[in-house]
Structures are given as C-alpha cells and as structure tokens.
Amino acid sequence: MARLWRRSRRVLASIGTVRRFLHFGSAERPALQDAFGARIAARLKGGVLLRPVALLALLIVTSGFWIFFSIAATGFTSDFNLFALLRFAAIQITIGFAQMVVLGIGDMSLAVGAIGGVAGMFAGFVMQSLGMPPEVAVPLALTAGILLGFGNALLIIWTRLNSFIVTLATASLITGAMLIVTHAKPFSNLPDSFTSFADGEVASVPVSPLVLVMLAVGVALFFLYRNLSLGREMLAVGANRRAARMSGLSVDRVVLLTHGLSGALAAVAGLMAIAADHTASPGLGSNWLLASFVSPAIGGTLLSGGLVSVPGTILGGVLLATMSSGLLLMNIDNFWLTVVLGVVLLVAVGLDRLTRVVGGAAT
C-alpha cells in the first residue's frame, strides 16, 4: 500500500511539472522567460554587440588598407576622394544594417536590394512626376519599405517556408512590378533641396551629411539591441527559435517587426543612394545582395542568428568602401573586389559553422 502511495505521488508530481511547463499563463512563465532572458543578457555582456578583440582586429586591417592605399593610390587621401569614400561607405553600411537585423533573428533577406530600389524609385516618382516635396516623398518611401518588409514577414509566417525562398521570390516579384509600372525609366529631375543634402558638408568639414544619417541609424540600432526588450527578443529568437517560443515569446511578432525594420532600413539606403546619384535608376539595388551580407559578416554578425555587431558592421562597410576606392584609383578592375567579397563571405560562413559546432559542444 505504501509503495502504491509513493508511486501515485510521483505520477502526480510529474503531471504537475508538465502542467506548469505547458501552462504559459501561470507564474512559471515569467521565471522561464527570466532564465532565457538571462542567457541573452549574458551573451550581450559577453560581447554580442562589441566583441572588442574582433573589432580591434578589424580596425587594424582597415587601417592597414588605408595606409597601403595612401602610399600606392595617388589621390586616395584627397578631400574629394575621402568625401566620396565616406559617402559611399555610409550607404553600404546602411545596406548592411538592413541585412544585419534579419540575420540577427536567424533569417535572411534576399529582397534588401529590391526593397531599396523600389523605395528609391517610388520617391523619385513622387518628387518628379507628382511634384511632391522631399518632406512628403521621404516618409512615403519609408512607409513603402516597411510595408514590403511586412509582406515578406507575413509570407514567411503563413507559409512556414525558409526566408531564403520567400525573399528570393518577393525580390523578383517587386522588382519586376516596379520595372513594369515605371517602364524602366529613371527619374533624373529630383529637387535640388533633396540632392544637395548628399553633396553638402558638415560644419565646413568635407563629410557628407549622409554619414550623419548612417551614424544616427547605427546609434538607434545599438540602443535597440542594448537597452530595449525588443532587441533582446530579436537575439533570443535568432539564438534558439524553439526555445524562445517555449519561453513565451511571440516569435511571429518578432519576425514581423524585424522584417519591417529591415524594409525601413533598405528604404533609407535607397533614399541615400538616389540623393548621392542625383537620379532614381531602375537598376538601383541590383548589386546590393553580396555587400549586404559581407558588411555584417565581416563585422562579427553570425549568419545563423543570435549575435549581431553594430560597430562591426560599420567597420565592415568602411573596409569595403576603402577597398573599392583604392582599387579604382589604382586602375585595378573592380571585378577583383567581387572575388574578394565572395571569398570573405565563404570564410564568414565557415566561421559561422565553426561557432555553432563549438557552441553546441559547449552546451
């Protein structure tokens, strides 16, 4: 009788444990969330955003290229070239940010360039064809980018397909639709008040205001990941989506907001690009794909998710712009840069795989 009583107590205890685990409305849910949140917080303190050693190494490499091109490439340190280099870097970094936030949740977006291109063309259409001022065109373009990002997220959520497949399809769809609607014609008569912003200087220093826009975006993203619960939830989803869902996080909400944010950042990059080029071209964004991955990958963002680096993405973009400018001044075909980017991305994928293997062994 006593043995039967003990066995019954063990069964009841087991049932109670299962019920407490599954009943997310109970008091155990905050405890489970806190435990999972503590792991994410520990990763943040351990260097998810900063990773000082890796950033220092990247800074040394970038500085080395600056020194090399200053000696080997005539005109590299001229005011004109530095202005163009930093303006180009600002656009590349913003493109990298658009991909970085999606990589952080374990997804990827092959539609970053398409969204940026559509947003830029839409802004050009609003300003040139409708005669609207930039104060109207810019918010409309940002809204378009956000909505396109939401569209990607909703398709991923509803179909449960891989983000690679979904964004590959949507990139083709929205680019094709844009070309049909605009008849592949550029918008070149943009208001001077819009284009002069990209050509201006900051406090008489030969630095484009676009650099300030990029830095403002970077600070906002750093604050998001460092201080806001949404940023921690984004990293939690990227680190382990199943565990995040079991801890009570609304994974679908995080996916929706993240892709919307990516769309907004891609639209910002598109607006920056048409301001710098003085025209909204149908080909805008067509060559962004590789660069969008390489900048965050160089900077330490894991392609598998759960780890991002805002400062690293900035340094990665500066390195890409430096190499592009230096090779151009040395009359070396820029196709070599594409080869280098491909190699860098392969190395990043290998390191990402190694990190997951080591991390899995550690846990």
Q: pLDDT tens per residue, the chain (363 residues)?
A: 555 455 545 544 443 433 333 333 333 444 445 555 555 555 554 444 446 777 888 899 899 999 999 999 999 999 999 999 999 999 999 999 999 999 999 999 999 999 999 999 999 999 999 999 999 999 999 999 999 999 999 999 999 999 999 999 999 999 999 999 999 999 999 999 999 999 998 888 889 999 999 999 999 999 999 999 999 999 999 999 999 999 899 999 999 999 999 999 999 999 999 999 999 999 999 999 988 999 998 888 988 899 999 999 999 999 999 999 998 999 887 778 788 778 877 877 776 666 655 555 444
Q: Hey, where are the domains in the chain?
A: 31-362
The fold of 31-362 is ABC transporter involved in vitamin B12 uptake, BtuC (1.10.3470)
Tokens 């260097």 map to which residue? Answer: 47
pLDDT of residue 25: 37
280 strand-pairing partners? 187
Query: pTM, whole model, 2 decimals?
Result: 0.85
pLDDT of residue 269: 98
The dihedral region occupied by 248, where left means phi > 0, alpha psi between -120 and 50, and beta the remainder, is left
